[in-house]
């Protein structure tokens, strides 16, 4: 499965083997997009399929292997299914044959652990309808919506879809503004966008494009310039910028060029506030100053990409952190949702990228093990701002809105 590559809402389908998870997806989509077989365990690795749900929009359906799989290979399949749970905004628990036991209760515990809302579907009701005894057992275990369904005769398909609409958090599909609550009609926003070896040929990187669109959507004016032109540009811009957003790699240059009375932040911090764990980032960033010799740092990238010789996560941040702390530190870089090379408790700090290509839920779930283990977390932009001595200025525009974060400055 290509993990963490879609910023659309993810709906995970979970349950035992042969309960009809793949058939449920096909019935929901109205087409054969998942492989169906009478043989238990046909679905091996989690498989992602796109469809449109009216009232939500484009979604990704994640078809997972049976939670009751057996043997060494089965355990590996279950591990991948559980890993897929970290990526979903809504879970659908498929039951059948009036069986509701330890496997289902464990899934419900896991949904709750990751704060995932869920719906329970008793599938294959044409073969064996849901009994009142099973319904009562399920109601005792949770308060999730419970519906009967037949993938072969999906007469209540619209009712099931409505239940998905009612249960999925609106934040999963309603696009909130990146910068809108910092801006007023007609404001001018300056974006500082270096064109270096990491810049894609012939285009801007995604966070820059997202910022431009968000500024225009808020009826404001966007000016884009490279860092070399900022000094001359800032002297003639009229009106003066209400906000400047810079690439984190040129924070020092931007800080020197932009007058102190003009708010300044970075694309990465913009994303940290929009879809990351902003309050915990603000709380965890100062821990950079407490790092000791031998500490291990985990850098989390949301996507896989070609690694340039001056890569921000693999080269520049470790170089800056070594220089800033004066310590001998060890670094691990993990892309996507790949497994960690060491237990999360062995890390002194976790540094998450901006996460422009994934959902907020995926970032929060990715950081949860670290926070549960009381490992401090930060993100690329905040860490760079801290190491360059401009952290308070860089987060100030958003701290004025996110008052809880003020306690940690």
CATH number of residue 260's parent domain: 3.40.50.11420
Instruction: Identify whether residues 66 and 47 lie together within a single domain.
Output: yes
Task: Report the pLDDT value the prediction gives residue 407, as an integer from 0 to 100.
Answer: 60
Same domain, 21 and 124: yes
Cα dihedral: 17, 20, 25, 29 (round 10): 160
The reported pLDDT for the residue numbered 378 is 96
> Whole-angstrom Cα distance, residue 253 to residue 236?
18
Residues 168 and 250 in one domain: no
Q: Are 355 and 380 in contact (CB under 8 A)?
A: no
| Burial of 71 (C-beta count, 10 Å sphere; 0-12/13-18/19+) | exposed
- Distance, CA of 22 to CA of 14 (rounded, Å): 10
262 in the same domain as 282 = no
**Residue 172: per-residue pLDDT:** 77
The pLDDT of residue 43: 45
276-308 as b/e, with b when 16 or more CB fall inside 10 Å?
Answer: bbbbbbbbbbebbeebeeebebbbbbbbeeeee
Tell me: do 23 and 152 sit in the same domain.
yes
pLDDT of 392:
94
Same domain flag for 260 and 292: no
C-beta atoms surrounding 381 within 10 Å: 31
d(CA 166, CA 143): 14
pLDDT at 4: 39
Distance (Å, rounded) from C-alpha 181 to C-alpha 183?
A: 6
Helix then strand count (H, E) for the chain reads 14, 14
* Residue 21: predicted pLDDT: 92
Per-residue model confidence (pLDDT) at position 200: 66
Other CB atoms closer than 10 Å to residue 262's CB: what's the count?
A: 14
Q: Tokens in use for 287?
A: 């821990």
Number of domains in the chain: 3
Predicted confidence at residue 310, as pLDDT, reads 57
Low-confidence ranges of the chain (pLDDT < 50): 1-5, 33-44, 305-309
Give strand ranges (E) for 278-366: 296-301, 330-335, 349-352
Q: What is the pLDDT of residue 162?
A: 95
If asked whether residues 192 and 226 sit together in one domain, one would say yes
Q: What is the domain extent for residue 122?
A: 10-172
Cα–Cα distance, 86 to 14 (Å, whole number): 13
pLDDT confidence of residue 54: 84
């Amino acid at each position: 499965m290509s993990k963490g590559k879609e910023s659309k809402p993810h709906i995970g389908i979970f349950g035992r083997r042969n309960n009809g998870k793949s058939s449920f997806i096909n019935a929901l989509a109205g087409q054969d997009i998942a492989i169906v077989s009478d043989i238990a365990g046909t679905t091996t690795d989690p498989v992602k399929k796109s469809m449109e749900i009216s009232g939500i929009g484009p979604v990704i359906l994640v078809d997972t292997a049976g939670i009751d799989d057996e043997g060494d290979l089965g355990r590996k399949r279950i591990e991948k299914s559980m890993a897929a749970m970290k990526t979903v905004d809504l879970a659908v628990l498929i039951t059948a044959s009036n069986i509701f036991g330890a496997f289902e209760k464990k899934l419900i515990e896991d949904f709750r652990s990751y704060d995932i809302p869920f719906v329970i579907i008793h599938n294959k009701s044409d073969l064996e309808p849901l009994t009142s005894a099973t319904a009562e057992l399920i109601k005792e275990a949770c308060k999730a919506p419970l519906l009967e369904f037949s993938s072969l005769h999906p007469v209540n398909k619209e009712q099931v879809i409505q239940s998905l609409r009612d249960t999925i958090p609106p934040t999963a599909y309603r696009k909130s503004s990146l910068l809108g609550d910092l801006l007023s009609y007609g404001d001018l926003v300056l974006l500082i966008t270096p064109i270096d070896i990491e810049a894609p040929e012939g285009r801007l990187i995604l966070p820059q494009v997202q910022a431009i669109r968000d500024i225009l959507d808020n009826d404001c004016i966007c000016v884009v310039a490279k860092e070399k032109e900022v000094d001359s540009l800032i002297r003639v811009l009229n009106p003066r910028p209400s906000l400047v957003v810079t690439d984190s790699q040129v924070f020092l240059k931007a800080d020197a060029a932009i007058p102190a009375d003009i708010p300044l932040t970075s694309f990465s911090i913009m994303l940290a506030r929009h879809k990351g764990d902003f309050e915990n980032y603000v709380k965890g960033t100062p821990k950079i100053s407490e790092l000791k010799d031998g500490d291990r740092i985990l850098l989390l990238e949301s996507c896989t990409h070609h690694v340039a010789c001056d890569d921000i996560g693999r080269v520049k941040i470790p170089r800056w952190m070594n220089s800033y702390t004066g310590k001998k530190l060890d670094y691990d870089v993990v892309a996507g949702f790949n497994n960690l090379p060491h237990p999360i408790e062995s890390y002194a700090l976790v540094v998450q990228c901006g996460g422009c290509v994934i959902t907020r839920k995926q970032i929060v779930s990715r950081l949860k093990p670290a926070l549960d283990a009381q490992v401090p977390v930060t993100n690329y932009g905040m860490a760079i701002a801290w190491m360059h001595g401009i952290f308070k200025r860089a987060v100030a525009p958003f701290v004025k809105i996110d008052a809880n974060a003020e306690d940690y400055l």
